[in-house]
Amino acid sequence: MIAMATLDTLAQQGELGTGGVRDWILNNIIPLLLLVVALLLLWLGGGKGDNAGVMRRLGGVIVALAIIGLAVTTDAGKDIGTWIAGLFTG
């Protein structure tokens, strides 16, 4: 009961947010996922001598990293979106 009252008080004061969760994900989960992807690429393709297959998969990883980078930035994503829209509109 006391915890709920404390959370309600913090919420009313505007001290609760998702900034800490976002920072934790960016600092912990993303590097861990990159490490797992790198190890999988090396294990699945590199061990068999399929270097071309590894490079094709790496291209997909680079595209995914670009999407993650745009998602976590504030102004860069908006600026790039405006630039791409400008390519198609006069």
Spell out the domain ranges in the chain: 18-88
Report the amino acid identity of residue 27.
N
Residue among 57, 36, 33, 35 nearest 45 (CA): 57
Does the reported pTM lie above 0.75?
A: no
User: Does 87 have pLDDT greater than 80?
Assistant: yes
Residue of 82, 6, 26, 62 whose CA lies nearest to 54: 62
* Cα end-to-end distance, the chain, whole Å: 60
Name the band, by pLDDT with cuts 50, 70 and 90, for residue 18.
Answer: low
Tokens of 24: 């934790």
The tens digit of pLDDT for each residue in 19-64 reads 677 778 778 887 888 788 878 777 776 667 777 777 787 788 778 7
Residues in the chain: 90
Q: Is residue 8 pLDDT above 70, yes or no?
A: no
Alpha-carbon span 67 to 88, nearest angstrom: 20
Give the model's pLDDT for residue 1: 54
